Amino acid sequence: MWILVMLLAPAWAEDVIVTTGKGTVVGQTTSDGYKTFFGVPYAKVDEGNPFGNSLNQPAFKKPFIANDSTILCPQATVFVGGILQCLTLNIYVPNQAGPSNTKAVFVWFYGGGFFFGYAGQYGGQYLVQQDIVVITVNYRLGPYGFLCLNDPKVPGNQGLKDQIAALRWIKANIGAFGGDPTKITIAGESYGGGSVDFHLYSMYEKLFDKTIVQSGSIFTPYVFGKGDPNAAIELAGKMGHESMNNDDAIKYLARADPVEVMKFAHNLTNILRPCKEKPFKGVSSFMTTDPYHFQNSAKIRNAKILIGYNSKETFDTFVDKDDAFYNGLQNAFSERLGQIFTIKKEELETLAKIVRDFYLGGKPIAKESRLELSDFLSDFMVNHAAERSVNNYVKFGAEKVYKYIFSYIGGSPYKSLPGVGAFHTEELQYLFQMTQNLTSDEQIMMRNRMTEMWANFAKYGDPTPQVTSLLPVRWTPVTNTEARPYMNIDVNMEVKNYVNQQRMAFWDLIWNQYWKTSPAI
């Protein structure tokens, strides 16, 4: 992690002081034309019940030194570590921004399956130089963020409610830093994109004016599930403590090492994720129904939304795999379909054969069919879910929906392989300072193009407000159900229509037939 921090650390020049409603925050100016405020707390975790709703952040009794971008919430997969008091923001502000010269605000929620990720992964150095304020948000993960116990002490969706708490803090305080509280765009990728999509339907007030959803959706398989009232008791049991009720289990888990809690949480019977909350008097709910029954949302009506995905989302899943890997996939179609539809075995096998024949056309499940398998898994996991979200946006009256496919492979480690496309997360290196180094003029051009389009959307609600040498094509939005234009983001920019039309129509038929059998309902 420390190597990553050194890679992301800008060159400091001098301290800069901001007075907020919570007290004084001390950040740093950089030699690159922007200011940073790292690790700014927006809420507190209740350490007596770290699995419940967060507490208000008290005012600072002395100036808060905002210089720690390494804070992460407890986790134990890609990154191992974290602290309970992790509800913090990393803020990047253009030098010229101030209370009398406010800029549009871009707020980022990381992906990671609601089990890993942290704000410091995503350096805002590129985006802030597009004259916007950039904020990356830490929110709780795993059992700390997504135990859903049907219990007023742990009602569910605490991680999403952390995001609400962050947005409320931003709305109330970002003006002091030079951000415009009336121009807040929330954005995220993968399950972070799913979070953004959920916010469009939440029961809380609207705390943003635009949204960007990258490779995510409320309809993504596994992003939503039913609560498990026994999850805390089961988790405590796996850690060696037998509990008879939630209160005892929570009391034990609250005292346990958070990283150990996260390790054992991976083996729970049910995956921890956003859920349909049981309503309780005096307890705020994020959502009390499932995505299939979300009603027409006032947050979507007249909204401006940017949504899309990458051209070959799961390509890297099938690259450089041996025969044993493919031998283990022989039942992949029935296994995947059986996870999202609860139907009888005979009907499941029939459906699995139809889907397999549609994608493989008689090919065996082997290396020779890796491109077809990638198309199947990409459609299953990401593509069709995003298209269903677009359908909802249009149905519920969004003003403009800007849809994209990211196809650029110039920075891909697989760019020389036949049939390669941009895989999941590949666009992120062109938006954020991460561990990858962009070396070629073409890659730097793509970074400038991506950051300018995303910043334009945050500023104007239009990613291409005018034609320039960098943005040579105006982006046509989706405005009705009769067409589905999208921007193909590549070296050669081009507006096309109806990506993978036959594949998407195929999944439309399947979901129309089987959606009522989803175990998430």
Non-local CB neighbours of 123 within 8 Å, separated by 6+ positions: 8, 432, 433, 434
H-state helical runs in 362-402: 370-378, 384-395
Judge whether 304 lies within some domain: no
**Residue 505, Cβ neighbours under 10 Å: how many?**
12
Dihedral sign (CA 301, 305, 311, 314) = negative
The reply to whether 482 and 369 lie within a common domain is yes
Cβ contact 400:479 at 8 Å? yes
Cβ contact 392:481 at 8 Å? no
Non-local CB neighbours of 486 within 8 Å, separated by 6+ positions: 308, 403, 404, 405, 478, 495, 496, 497, 499
The reply to whether 499 and 379 lie within a common domain is yes
Residues pairing with 404 in the sheet: 308, 487
How far apart are the C-alpha atoms of 242 and 244, rounded to whole Å? Answer: 7
pLDDT at 88: 98
CA dihedral 367, 372, 373, 377 (to 10 degrees): 160
Judge whether 107 lies within some domain: yes
Judge whether 388 lies within some domain: yes
The reply to whether 315 and 245 lie within a common domain is no
The reply to whether 277 and 314 lie within a common domain is no
Residue with tokens 């025969």: 323
3-class secondary-structure state, position 441: helix
Q: Which helix H or strand E contains 433, and what residues bound it? A: none
Q: Are strands 80-81 and 12-20 parallel, antiparallel or unpaired?
A: unpaired
The domain containing residue 123 runs over which residues?
A: 2-299
Angle, CA 202 vertex, CA 504 and CA 294 arms, to 5°: 45
H-state helical runs in 289-420: 323-327, 332-340, 345-360, 370-378, 384-395
Which tokens go with 228? Answer: 């498990």
How far apart are the C-alpha atoms of 143 and 402, rounded to whole Å? Answer: 35
Q: What is the pTM of this model?
A: 0.96
The reply to whether 295 and 327 lie within a common domain is no
**Residue 125, Cβ neighbours under 10 Å: how many?**
18
The reply to whether 6 and 118 lie within a common domain is yes
Cβ contact 482:488 at 8 Å? no
The reply to whether 50 and 112 lie within a common domain is yes
Judge whether 270 lies within some domain: yes
What are 56-80's pLDDT values in tens digits?
999 999 999 999 999 999 999 999 9
How far apart are the C-alpha atoms of 328 and 334, rounded to whole Å? Answer: 13
Instruction: Exactly one of 190, 195, 243, 285 is catalytic; name it.
Output: 190
**Residue 441, Cβ neighbours under 10 Å: how many?**
8
pLDDT at 12: 46
Judge whether 245 lies within some domain: yes
How far apart are the C-alpha atoms of 305 and 501, rounded to whole Å? Answer: 21
Q: Which phi and psi (to 5°) does residue 364 adopt? A: -75, 160
How far apart are the C-alpha atoms of 431 and 263, rounded to whole Å? Answer: 31
Judge whether 407 lies within some domain: yes
Specify the number of domains making up the chain: 2
| Domain boundary pick from 271, 299, 327 | 299
Residue 25: closest CA among 33, 35, 11: 35
Judge whether 116 lies within some domain: yes
**Percentages (nearest 5) of helix, strand, coil residues in the chain:** 35, 20, 45
CA dihedral 484, 113, 453, 431 (to 10 degrees): -150
Burial class (CB within 10 angstroms; exposed 0-12, middle 13-18, buried 19+) of 410: middle
The reply to whether 280 and 322 lie within a common domain is no
How far apart are the C-alpha atoms of 436 and 425, rounded to whole Å? Answer: 12
The reply to whether 210 and 342 lie within a common domain is no
pLDDT at 502: 97
Which tokens go with 183? Answer: 């121009």
| Domain boundary pick from 277, 299, 321 | 299
Judge whether 305 lies within some domain: no
Dihedral sign (CA 221, 487, 305, 430) = positive
What are 373-399's pLDDT values in tens digits?
999 999 999 999 999 999 999 999 999
The reply to whether 209 and 263 lie within a common domain is yes
**Known catalytic membership, residue 389:** no
Dihedral sign (CA 49, 54, 60, 61) = negative
pLDDT at 297: 83
Cβ contact 261:294 at 8 Å? no
The reply to whether 388 and 288 lie within a common domain is no
CA distances from 270 to 53, 146, 194, 219, 400 (A): 21, 11, 19, 18, 37
How far apart are the C-alpha atoms of 195 and 163, rounded to whole Å? Answer: 9
DSSP string, 171-237: HHHHHHHTEEEEEEEEEEETHHHHHHHHHTT-SSPP--SEEEEES--TTSTTS-B---TTHHHHHHH
Question: What does each of the 521 residues of the chain score in pLDDT, given as a tens digit?
Answer: 433 443 444 444 589 999 999 999 999 999 999 999 999 999 999 999 999 999 999 999 999 999 999 999 999 999 999 999 999 999 999 999 999 999 999 999 999 999 999 999 999 999 999 999 999 999 999 999 999 999 999 999 999 999 999 999 999 999 999 999 999 999 999 999 999 999 999 999 999 999 999 999 999 999 999 899 999 999 999 999 999 999 999 999 999 999 999 999 999 999 999 999 999 999 999 999 999 999 878 999 999 999 999 999 999 999 999 999 999 999 999 999 999 999 999 999 999 999 999 999 999 999 999 999 999 999 999 999 999 999 999 999 999 999 999 999 999 999 999 999 999 999 999 999 998 789 899 999 999 999 999 999 999 999 999 999 999 999 999 988 788 999 999 999 999 999 999 999 999 999 999 999 999 88
The reply to whether 358 and 234 lie within a common domain is no
Dihedral sign (CA 189, 291, 506, 327) = positive
Residue 75: closest CA among 258, 199, 300: 258
150 backbone φψ class: left, alpha, beta (φ>0; ψ -120 to 50): left
The CATH number that applies at residue 67 is 3.40.50.1820
Cβ contact 123:56 at 8 Å? no
| Domain boundary pick from 272, 299, 326 | 299
